[in-house]
Amino acid sequence: MSRETFAFSSSTLRSLRLQREWLEWEDRRRALSRQCLSRRFPLATRSTLLLPKPARRPQYCRDPAVHNVLYTGDLQTLKNIFKDEAMANVIVETVSEELMWSAELGLWVLSPQKRHTSPLRIVAGRGYRDCLKHLILQGAEVDAVVGGKAALHDSCIHQRAECAQLLLSYGANANVLSEEGLAPLHLCTSPETLRCAELLLEHGALVNLSSRDRRMTPLHVAAEHGLEEHVQLYLCYGAGLAHRNREGETALNAACAGADKLSEAGRYYRVAERLLECGADARTAGRKNHTPLHNACGNCHPRLVELLLRYGAAVNVSNCAGYTPMDCALQAVQEYLDGQPERIITTLLDHGAAPINPKLLKFCSLCPRALEVMLNSYDRILSCDSWVEAVPPEMWQEHKTFYDSALQMTNQPRQLQHLARCAVRRYLGARCHSAIPQLKLPLSLRAYLQLPLEGYIR
């Protein structure tokens, strides 16, 4: 037998024959399909159907020189580099060393982390409008989400209204979602982003669109950051006041919870006032059954407390931990010694706050003003060592007159004048704030009924 031949078995020959017949049948089937297609569609349409456009594979750019052109906004060099659609949609990749916890080694180690973004995102976030326009004209996808966000997200984060306007004019989706489920409106979190918010709404942004995870609407975000003009804008576009986020909070809850800095108290007050004027419910409980009043007391915001009570907030409602607004106010005293906590305590008492357990007096022991108001709300001072022991010697020495008088009056009869005050206030109850100013009494007596600060207990 020669080297060019090979002996096939009968079964092998049969398999080869069947395979050849199947291939011939497949050729005939394809030819018939092409004939049918040629009769149903013209040549141009047929070529399009037979040769679909392949999806563009992502291209990555790791060249620092190209990165530098984008970050510096060098328009002329950018035009020389980004000349076509493929380059305009390149993915910019950077690698940075970040501290990561290694469970295997039991220590923090530097680990290289890749970060992705797009040319469009870079120039939009830095306000390079001309560069942005060039990239769009070269075919950059305005809604491409690269590295978690689209260019419109970056425009809003960095307050680049001119770039946001350009993107929207070229068809950018005003409701495009990031990988975290945030729309551009959710990222308007500073006063400087007002113009961005206006542009988004003018181009169809949904004012009641919720974020994916926390279910926050733009109104929640604006209230949480104390953005008065944003709140007004969203209300004009029909923002829902009763919408609750994942934790059950309304925008009013978010505003009262966010007002935790004395320097920003004014703008949060104005936000809450606007929401209440438009119909927000001051009694709605949110996270952990906190009402707006719980949050305002916990943040030691006297004006906000007065505002909420004026709109019907419940003064004795308990949260899931059993704390009333008064309990929250007392627990915040030591953190906000300069925030007039005694004013909040007086306001709550004037609206019918129930008496507290004397053991809670320790929370206000470091603020003589607050402690004086609380002690004067009782017809007698009960023996309670908890607040006495909580006062450091230097504090006692500084306010010796007050602390000594309070200690001396423990379990002692109070003055008849004070007992009469307690009786009147007990009778008026939650009407103290409105009824006492109308009593036909001398001005000094009316002032006395409102628990003024005297600096000592008698």
Q: Are the C-beta atoms of 337 and 366 separated by less than 8 Å?
A: yes
Q: What is the mean pLDDT of residues 137-146?
A: 96
- The mean pLDDT of 293-319, rounded to a whole number, is 96
Confidence (pLDDT) at 16 = 55
Reported as a single tens digit per residue, the pLDDT across 9-18 is 555 555 556 5
d(CA 453, CA 343): 10
Tell me: the pLDDT tens digits for 221-254? 999 999 999 999 999 999 999 999 999 999 999 9
Q: In angstroms, how far is CA 86 from the centroid of its own chain?
A: 37
Q: What's the mean pLDDT in 429-433?
A: 95
Task: Please report the pLDDT score of residue 213 as a whole number.
Answer: 93
Q: What is the CA radius of gyration of the chain?
A: 36
Tell me the pLDDT tens digit for each residue of 74-84.
999 999 999 99
pLDDT band at 54 (very low <50, low <70, confident <90, very high): low
What is the identity of the amino acid at 366?
A: L
Mean pLDDT of the 320-325 span: 93
Question: Average per-residue pLDDT in the chain?
Answer: 89
Predicted confidence at residue 96, as pLDDT, reads 74
* Structure token pair of residue 429: 């109850």
| Section 170-176 average pLDDT | 97
Between 41-45, 282-286, 330-334, 438-442, the lowest mean confidence (pLDDT) is in 41-45
Query: What confidence score (pLDDT) does residue 349 get?
Result: 97
DSSP-based three-state secondary structure for 328:
helix
* The pLDDT of residue 44: 43
Nearest-angstrom CA–CA distance, 218 and 239:
8
pLDDT exceeds cutoff 70 at 56:
no
For residue 299, pLDDT over 80 is answered with yes
pLDDT at 27 over 80: no
Determine the angle formed by the axes of helices 129-137 and 161-169, rounding to 10 degrees. Answer: 20
Give the pLDDT confidence score for residue 367 in this predicted structure: 94
* Mean pLDDT value of segment 415-434: 95
- What is the pLDDT confidence band of residue 58, given thresholds at 50, 70 and 90? confident
Whole-model pTM? 0.82
The CA distance from 184 to 187, in Å, is 5
CB neighbourhood size of 79 (10 A): 15
Task: Read off the pLDDT band of 22 (50, 70, 90).
Answer: low
Residue 57 has pLDDT above 90, yes or no: no
Q: Give strand pairing partners of 107.
A: 102
Calpha distance 448→432 (Å, rounded): 12
Look at residue 43 in the predicted model and tell me its pLDDT.
45
User: In a 10 Å sphere around its CB, with 0-12 CB exposed, 13-18 middle and 19+ buried, how is residue 239 labelled?
Assistant: buried
Which strand (E) or helix (H) includes residue 109?
A: strand 107-117
pLDDT at 112: 75
pLDDT in tens, 370-424: 999 999 999 988 877 778 888 999 999 999 999 999 999 988 899 999 999 999 9
Contact 193, 181 (CB under 8 A): no
pLDDT at residue 50 tops 90 = no
Query: Are 344 and 309 a contacting pair, CB within 8 Å?
Result: no
Q: What is the pLDDT of residue 423?
A: 96
Rounded to whole angstroms, how far apart are CA atoms 208 and 229?
17
